[in-house]
Amino acid sequence: MAKFLHAALSLSLMLSAAIPASAQSLLDETPIAIGKEPGESESILSTRSVVPVAKAAGEPGLVPFEQSAAAFKLSGEDDTGRFTFFLSSRQMAAGGTLALAYRNAVSVLPDTSVMDVAVNGKPAGSFRIAAPNGFKRQEIKLSPQLLVAGRNQVDIRVRQHHRVDCSLEATYELWSELDPAKTGFVAGNAKSFTSPDDLLAVARTAAGRTDIRLIVPRALSADLLNDATPMLQTLALFLGRDDLDVTVAETPGSGPGIDLYAFTDRIRLLMPEASRSRPYGVVVADAGEAGRAVVSLHGATHADMESRLLAAIADPMKASLASGRLAASHGRIDISPSTTYRLADAGYESRAFAGRLSRTGFDMVMPSDFYPGDYATIGLKLHAATSPGLKHTAQFLVRVNDRVVTSYPFRRREGEQFDGKLIELPLRAFRPGVNKVELIAELPIEADEACAPEARNDDQPRFILLDKTEISVPALARVGRLPDIAALAGNAYPFAGEKPFDIAIERPDGKSVGAAMTMLSRLAVAAGSPLPAEILLGKASPSRNALVIATDNAFADLGAAGKTAFIADETAPDPLPTAAIADTGSANEPDNSSELLDAFRRSTAVPEGERSATTLAGEWLARAAGRFGSWLNYQQDRDDFAAHGATSDLVTLSQRPSPTGEATWTVLRAPSPSDLAAGVQRLVDPAVWKHLDGGSVAIETASLDVRALPAASRFVTGIDDRSPGNLRRLAAAWFSDNFQFYVLLIVAAMGLFALWLGWIIPRKGAQSDND
Amino acid sequence: MKFLAVPAGALGLLLILLPMSLQAQLMLSCAALGVMFLGMTRPESPVFRVVTLVFAGIIALRYGFWRTTETLPDISEPLNFIPGFLLYIAEMYCLAMLAISFFMVVAPVKRTTPDMGETADLPTVDVFIPSYNEDAELLAMTLAAAKSMAYPKDKLNIFLLDDGGTEAKRSHKDPRISVAALRRHEQLKALCAAMGVTYHARKKNDHAKAGNLNEGLKISTGDLVVVFDADHAPVRDFLRETVGFFAKDEKLFLVQTPHYFLNPDPLEKNLKTFARMPSENEMFYSILQRGLDKWNASFFCGSAAVLRRAALETTDGFSGQSITEDCETALSLHCQGWHSVYVDKPLIAGLQPETFVSFIGQRARWCQGMLQILILKRPFLAKGLTIPQRICYAGINMFWLFPISRLAFMFSPLLYIFFSLEIYRANILEFASYAVTYLISSFAMQSYLYGRVRWPWISELYEYVQAVFLFGSIISVVRNPRKPTFNVTAKGQTLDKSMLSPLAAPYFAIFFLLLAAAVYSGYRLLTEPVAGELLMIVAAWNLINLGLAGAALGAIAERRELRRNQRLPVKRHALIHVGEELHTVIIQDASSGGISVEFIDGAPKLDPAAETRATVELRRGGQAILFDVLCRSRRHNNGTTVAGFAYAERTPRTVMAIAELMYSDQSVLQDRLVRRQIRRNFFWGTTRFALWSVTESLRAIRYSAGLVRETMAKSFDDAPLVLNDNKITPLPPKTDDAAPVQPGVHLYG
Q: Amino acid identity of A253? A: G
Q: Which residues of A fall within a CB distance of 8 Å from B74?
A: 420, 422
| Most A CBs within 10 Å, among B530, B533, B534, B535, to test the A interface | B530
- The partner residue sitting opposite B18, judged by closest CB among A728, A751, A755, is A728
Q: Which residues of B fall within a CB distance of 8 Å from A631?
A: 23
Burial label for B711, CB within 10 Å (0-12, 13-18, 19+), is: exposed
Q: Is the dihedral of CA B338, B344, B347, B348 positive or negative?
A: positive
With an 8 Å Cβ cutoff, is B499 touching chain A? no
State whether residue A283 is helix, strand or coil.
strand
Query: Which CATH number does A332-477 carry?
Result: 2.60.120.260
Q: Note whether A746 contacts B16, CB cutoff 8 Å.
A: yes
User: Nearest-CA distance from B117 to chain A in Å?
Assistant: 18
Q: Note whether B19 contacts A375, CB cutoff 8 Å.
A: yes
pLDDT above 90 as % of chain A = 14
Tell me which of B738 and A79 has the higher pLDDT.
A79
pLDDT tens track for A148-169:
888 888 999 998 888 888 888 8
With an 8 Å Cβ cutoff, is B3 touching chain A? no
Q: Are B617 and B575 in contact (CB under 8 A)?
A: yes
Q: Please give the Cα distance from B635 to B686 (Å, whole number).
A: 39
Per DSSP bridges, beta strands A546-551 and A501-505 are: parallel
Instruction: Transcribe A287-308 into DSSP letters.
Output: -SSTTEEEEEEEESSHHHHHHH
* Active-site position among B126, B135, B163, B344: B163
pLDDT at A52 over 50: no
Q: Note whether A746 contacts B15, CB cutoff 8 Å.
A: yes
pLDDT at A457: 75
User: Nearest-CA distance from A753 to chain B in Å?
Assistant: 5
pLDDT at A509: 84
State whether residue B130 is helix, strand or coil.
strand
Active-site residue, B163 included: yes
* Stretch (H or E) spanning B118: none
Residues 302-341 of B with CB under 8 A from A: 341
Q: Which residues of B fall within a CB distance of 8 Å from A753?
A: 5-6, 8-9, 12, 54
Q: In what order do the strands lie in the sheet with B224-227?
A: B198-200, B156-162, B125-131, B224-227, B305-308, B252-256, B339-342
* Active-site position among B326, B344, B496, B589: B326
Of B260, B286, B242, nearest to B108 by C-alpha is B286
- Give the bridge partners for A175, in sequence order: A75
| Most A CBs within 10 Å, among B1, B14, B22, B23, to test the A interface | B23
Residues 93-132 of B with CB under 8 A from A: 106-107, 109-112
Q: How many CB atoms lie within 10 A of CB B123?
A: 17
Q: Note whether A754 contacts B54, CB cutoff 8 Å.
A: yes
Q: Note whether B5 contacts A373, CB cutoff 8 Å.
A: no
* Stretch (H or E) spanning A63: strand A62-64
How distant is the alpha carbon of residue A682 from its chain centre? 13
Q: Please give the Cα distance from A113 to A175 (Å, whole number).
A: 11
User: Nearest-CA distance from B19 to chain A in Å?
Assistant: 5
With an 8 Å Cβ cutoff, is B428 touching chain A? no
* Stretch (H or E) spanning B416: helix B402-419
Q: What is the DSSP letter of A713?
A: S
Give the list of residues 6+ apart from residue B387 with CB closer than 8 angstroms, or none. none
Instruction: Transcribe A422-473 into DSSP letters.
Output: EEEEEGGG--SEEEEEEEEEE--BTHHHH--GGG--TTS--EEE-TT-EEEE
How distant is the alpha carbon of residue A499 from its chain centre? 24
Of B626, B458, B444, B637, nearest to B555 by C-alpha is B458
- List, in sequence order, the alpha helices (H) in B451-531: 458-479, 505-527
| Angle formed by the axes of helices B458-479 and B356-372, nearest 10° | 60
Topology, domain B572-664: Thrombin, subunit H (2.40.10)
pLDDT tens track for A659-683:
888 888 898 888 888 888 888 888 8
Q: Please give the Cα distance from A96 to A109 (Å, whole number).
A: 30
For B112, name the nearest residue in chain A, comparing CA atoms only: A769
Q: Note whether B28 contacts A756, CB cutoff 8 Å.
A: no
Q: Are A78 and A158 in contact (CB under 8 A)?
A: yes
User: Nearest-CA distance from B390 to chain A in Å?
Assistant: 14
Residues 501-530 of B with CB under 8 A from A: 528-530
Q: Please give the Cα distance from A645 to A652 (Å, whole number).
A: 7
- Give the bridge partners for A157, in sequence order: A80, A116
Q: Please give the Cα distance from A664 to B657 (Å, whole number).
A: 97
Q: What is the mean pLDDT of residues A17-40?
A: 37
- Per the rule left: phi > 0, alpha: psi between -120 and 50, beta: everything else, B28 is alpha
Q: Please give the Cα distance from A202 to A191 (Å, whole number).
A: 9
User: Nearest-CA distance from B375 to chain A in Å?
Assistant: 27
Q: Note whether B295 contacts A751, CB cutoff 8 Å.
A: no
With an 8 Å Cβ cutoff, is B19 touching chain A? yes
Of A739, A742, A728, nearest to A376 by C-alpha is A728
pLDDT at A5 over 90: no
For B339, name the nearest residue in chain A, comparing CA atoms only: A766
Q: What is the mean pLDDT of residues A493-513?
A: 86
CATH of A31-44+57-191, one of 2.60.120.260, 3.40.50.620, 3.30.565.10, 3.40.50.720: 2.60.120.260
State whether residue A186 is helix, strand or coil.
strand
Q: Which residues of A fall within a CB distance of 8 Å from B2?
A: 756, 760
Tell me which of B205 and A605 has the higher pLDDT.
B205
Give the list of residues 6+ apart from residue B718 with CB closer than 8 angstroms, or none. B137, B564, B565, B592, B593, B594, B646, B647, B650
Q: Please give the Cα distance from A165 to A147 (Å, whole number).
A: 40
pLDDT at A645 over 60: no
- The partner residue sitting opposite B47, judged by closest CB among A737, A755, A768, is A755
pLDDT at A86 over 70: yes
User: Nearest-CA distance from B522 to chain A in Å?
Assistant: 17
Of B601, B645, B651, nearest to B625 by C-alpha is B651
How many contacts (CB atoms, under 8 Å) link A and B? 164
Q: Are B245 and B232 in contact (CB under 8 A)?
A: no
Q: Is the dihedral of CA B158, B164, B167, B168 positive or negative?
A: positive
User: Nearest-CA distance from A129 to chain B in Å?
Assistant: 37
Q: Note whether A753 contacts B420, CB cutoff 8 Å.
A: no
With an 8 Å Cβ cutoff, is B77 touching chain A? yes
pLDDT at A225 over 90: no
Confidence grade of residue A558 (pLDDT, cut at 50, 70, 90): very low
pLDDT at A614 over 90: no
| Angle formed by the axes of helices A724-737 and B2-16, nearest 10° | 80
Q: What is the DSSP letter of B719?
A: P
Q: Please give the Cα distance from B379 to B372 (Å, whole number).
A: 11
Of B327, B421, B424, nearest to B376 by C-alpha is B327
Q: Please give the Cα distance from B665 to A447 (Å, whole number).
A: 84
User: Residue ranges of chain B with pLDDT lower than 70?
Assistant: 492-493, 529-531, 711-715, 724-749
For B103, name the nearest residue in chain A, comparing CA atoms only: A761
Instruction: Transcribe A476-498 into DSSP letters.
Output: --B-EEE--HHHHHHH-TTTSSS
Tell me which of A277 and A105 has the higher pLDDT.
A105
Q: Which residues of B fall within a CB distance of 8 Å from A769?
A: 110-112
State whether residue A574 is helix, strand or coil.
coil
pLDDT at B693: 93
Confidence grade of residue A562 (pLDDT, cut at 50, 70, 90): very low
Q: Please give the Cα distance from B164 to B179 (Å, whole number).
A: 11
Q: Note whether A750 contacts B1, CB cutoff 8 Å.
A: no
State the Rg of chain B over Cα. Answer: 28
| Most B CBs within 10 Å, among A395, A396, A750, A757, to test the B interface | A750
Q: Note whether A748 contacts B8, CB cutoff 8 Å.
A: yes
pLDDT at A55 over 70: no
With an 8 Å Cβ cutoff, is B478 touching chain A? no
pLDDT at A83 over 80: yes
Q: Please give the Cα distance from B246 to B225 (Å, whole number).
A: 12
Confidence grade of residue A563 (pLDDT, cut at 50, 70, 90): very low
| Most B CBs within 10 Å, among A414, A753, A755, A769, to test the B interface | A753
Q: Note whether A421 contacts B20, CB cutoff 8 Å.
A: no
User: Nearest-CA distance from A736 to chain B in Å?
Assistant: 5
Q: What is the mean pLDDT of residues A195-220?
A: 85
Q: Which residues of A fall within a CB distance of 8 Å from B11?
A: 745, 749
Q: Are B591 and B567 in contact (CB under 8 A)?
A: yes
| Whether residue A494 has a cis bond before it, omega within 30° of 0 | yes
Give domain limits for chain A.
1-27+198-329, 31-44+57-191, 332-477, 479-602+639-721, 728-762
Give domain limits for chain B.
1-104+356-406+426-451, 119-352, 572-664
- List, in sequence order, the alpha helices (H) in A257-347: 265-268, 302-314, 318-328
pLDDT at B740: 32
Angle at A243 between CA A242 and CA A246, to 5 degrees: 115
Q: What is the DSSP letter of B411?
A: H
State whether residue B317 is helix, strand or coil.
coil
For B292, name the nearest residue in chain A, comparing CA atoms only: A766
Q: Which residues of A fall within a CB distance of 8 Å from B5?
A: 752-753, 755-757
Query: Which CATH number does B119-352 carry?
Result: 3.90.550.10
Q: Note whether A376 contacts B19, CB cutoff 8 Å.
A: yes
pLDDT at A582 over 80: no
